[in-house]
Amino acid sequence: MSELLRHPGLLLIAGALVLPWLRGTARGGAVIVLPLAALVLVWGLPDGALAQVRFLDYTLTPLEGGRLGRLFATIFALMAFGGGLFALRQPSRVEVPAAFVYAGSAIGVALAGDLVTVFVFWELMAVGSTLVLWSHGTRPSWHASQRYLMIHLLGGMLVFAGVTGHIAQTGSVAFVAMKADSAAHWLLLAGFLLNAGAPPLSAWLPDAYPEASWSGMVFLSAFTTKTAVYVLLRGFPGTELLVWIGFFMVFYGIVYALLENDMRRILAYSIVNQVGFMLVGIGIGTEMALNGAAAHAFTHIIYKALLLMSAGSVLLMTGRRKCSELGGLYRSMPLTTICGSIGALAISAFPLTSGFVSKSMVTQAATDQGMMTAWLLLTAASAGVFLHAGIKFPWFVFFQKDSGLRPADPPSSMRWAMILFAFLCIALGVWPDPLYRLLPYPVDYVPYTAPHVVTQTQLLLFSGLAFFLLLPLLKRTPTITLDVDWIYRRPLTWAVRAVGRSLALVREAAAGAAMATFDRVRGGVRGYVMRHGGLAQTSPIGSMALWVLVLLLAYLVLYYV
C-alpha cells in the first residue's frame, strides 16, 4: 500500500482536498507546486507493476509504469499546471480543486494496470468534471451539468458492464489490448467512445463545456476526451471501425464549427474534430499510426488549452462570447491575439508548430498502408481544420469588424499561462525530438522534408483563400445548430412531462373514484348504525321474541333435514 504514496494522481487528488482551506499565497503556491510535484513523480516511475492491492478475488494494480501511460500522465500533469496558473485569479473556491481531482483521476487512468482501477478513476473524472461545471454557478451551467452528468453516468454504466463482462469471460482484471468480439468488449468500447465524443451522443461536449467559467473550459477540454483516446489506444488498437467513426467526428466537428456563433463552442466542436483524427490513427493501428494518435493527443492538449485560454481571456475581459458581438480586439489585446493565433496555427498544423509534427504521422500512416480514400479524407480534413479553427476563430474574435470594445490584455497570471503554452506549441514544432522519444514505439519519421512543407503550406494557404473568398457565406448569425441533444432536450423532455401529467390525471381519477366508493360505503354503514339506522333503533321485546322463535324453528328444521 505504501507504494501508492508516490502515485502522482493520488497526490493531486489529496492536494485538491486541502486546497479549499488555503488562502492567498499558500493557495497560489499549492496550485503551482502540486502539478509540478505530480510531474516529478510521473518521471520517477520505473516500468512495470508498482503497487498491488487485493480486492475481492482479484489482485489490482493501481499503479503501473509504461511508455504510453507516462506520455499521457506527463501531458495531464503539465495541463494541470498550465490550467492552474491560468486559473489563479478564479474567485470560485471549488473550481480549481475540482479540476485537480479531475486531472488526478485522468492520471490515475493513464497509470492504471487493471480495468477495475480504470473504472474507479473513470467515475472520479466524471465527478471532478461535473463539479468544474457546477462551480460556475450560473443557471445555464447548472442545467448543462445535469445533462452532462446524465450522459457520463450512462457511459460509466457501459464501462462497468464491459469490465465485469470481461472479467467474467477471462477471469483476469488486466488491462490488455482487446478485440471488439464479444458483448462485453462492445460495451467497453461503447463506454470509451462515449467519453471520446463519438457519435451518436457527441452533443454532450459542445453542450456542456462552453457553459463552464472562463478558466473551467480550459481544464475540461483536456482530460475526458484524451483519457478516452488513451484507453482506446491501449485497449482497442487497430479496430477498423474507429477509422470511420473518427472520420465522422472529423467532418461533424468542421461543419458544426463553421455554423457556430459562440466562440468557445466553435472550439468545443473542434475538440470532437481533433479527437476524430486520433481515432483514425488508432483504427489504422500501425506503429506509425498509434504513435501519431498519441503524439497528436499530446500536442492537441497544449494548443487547444492555449486557444481556450485566449477565448477565456476575451470572455473575462469583455463578458461576451458570441462572434457576432466580438471583433477588432487586436487593437487592445495584442498578446491574447498573438497567443490565440499561435494556437490557431498549431491546430492547423502549420510548419514550425506542434500540430505539424504530430498530425502528419497519422496521414503518413494512411499513405504507408496505401489507404487512398483515408488519405484524401485526411487531407480535406486538414484543410477544414484551418478553415473552422485556424482562421474562423481568430478572425471573428480578434479581427473582422470593429466591435468598439477596447478591453485590455488579461492579468499577468493568465498572460504567463498563455505565453508558456504558446512557447510549447512552437518549441515542439521546431524541435519535435523530445516528444518523439516519449512515444510508445520507436519513431522512424522526419516531418520536415521539402515536399511535405511545400504541400502542407499550399493546402493551408489555399484553404485560407477559400475562407476569404466565401466569407459572405460564413457571416455570423445569432443562432445555434440542432444536434442529437435535441432529442433529450425536447421530445424526450416533453414525453416525460406528458407521462407525468397523464399519471397525475390517472392518480386523480383513481383517488376520486376511491373516495366516492368510500363515501358510499360509509353512507351505507351510517344508515345502519347511526340515529334512525336499523341497527341503532331500540326494538320492542315482542319482535325480539319473534326473531328468536324464527331462529329456533330454523334450527329444528335443519336438525331433522
Partner 1 sequence: MPEPHWLDRPGNVRLIWRGFIVVLALTVMVEPLVDLHPHFAVEALFGFHAWFGLLSCAAMIVGAKALGALLKRRDSYYGEGERDE
Residue numbers of the site for partner 1 (CB under 8 A)? 138-140, 143, 211, 251, 254-256, 258-259, 261-262, 315, 319-322, 330-331, 367, 370, 372, 375-376, 379-380, 383-384, 387, 399, 450-451, 454-467, 469-470, 473-474, 477-483, 489
Our CA dihedral for 20, 22, 28, 29, rounded to 10 degrees, sits at -120
Continuous segment of H or E residues that includes residue 58: strand 58-65
Residue found by looking up cell 392518480 in the block: 507
Rank residues 370 and 434 by Cβ distance to partner 1 and give the closer one.
370
What is the smallest separation between the CB atom of 153 and partner 1, expressed in angstroms? 21
**Which SS3 state, helix, strand or coil, does residue 57 take?**
coil
Rank residues 14 and 258 by Cβ distance to partner 1 and give the closer one.
258
What is the smallest separation between the CB atom of 349 and partner 1, expressed in angstroms? 12
Please list the residues that pair with 54 across neighbouring strands: 59
Please list the residues that pair with 59 across neighbouring strands: 54
283-310 core/surface letters (b: 16 or more CB in 10 A; e: else): bbbbebbbbbbbbbbbbbbbbbbbbbbb
Rank residues 334 and 527 by Cβ distance to partner 1 and give the closer one.
334
Widest CA span in the chain: 128
- Give the relative orientation of helices 8-18 and 95-110 as an angle to the nearest 10 degrees: 170
Residue found by looking up cell 493557495 in the block: 27
Our CA dihedral for 423, 428, 434, 437, rounded to 10 degrees, sits at 150
C-alpha cell at 193: 467512445
What is the smallest separation between the CB atom of 318 and partner 1, expressed in angstroms? 9
Q: What angle do CA 491, 497, 499 make, to 5 degrees?
A: 100
What is the smallest separation between the CB atom of 347 and partner 1, expressed in angstroms? 16
Rank residues 326 and 420 by Cβ distance to partner 1 and give the closer one.
326
What is the smallest separation between the CB atom of 498 and partner 1, expressed in angstroms? 18
What is the smallest separation between the CB atom of 259 and partner 1, expressed in angstroms? 5
C-alpha cell at 187: 460495451
What is the smallest separation between the CB atom of 182 and partner 1, expressed in angstroms? 37
Residue 173: C-alpha distances to residues 163, 176, 178, 541 (Å): 8, 9, 12, 89
Quick check: 254 and 381 in contact, CB under 8 A? yes
Quick check: 276 and 226 in contact, CB under 8 A? no
What is the smallest separation between the CB atom of 204 and partner 1, expressed in angstroms? 14
User: DSSP secondary-structure letter at 114?
Assistant: B
What is the smallest separation between the CB atom of 280 and partner 1, expressed in angstroms? 16
Rank residues 166 and 392 by Cβ distance to partner 1 and give the closer one.
392
What is the smallest separation between the CB atom of 254 and partner 1, expressed in angstroms? 6
Rank residues 169 and 449 by Cβ distance to partner 1 and give the closer one.
449
Rank residues 18 and 255 by Cβ distance to partner 1 and give the closer one.
255
C-alpha cell at 251: 467532418
Rank residues 402 and 433 by Cβ distance to partner 1 and give the closer one.
402
How far is residue 488's CA from residue 494's CA, in Å, rounded to a whole number?
9
Q: What angle do CA 310, 349, 236 make, to 5 degrees?
A: 100
Rank residues 153 and 465 by Cβ distance to partner 1 and give the closer one.
465
Rank residues 125 and 377 by Cβ distance to partner 1 and give the closer one.
377
**Which SS3 state, helix, strand or coil, does residue 322 take?**
strand
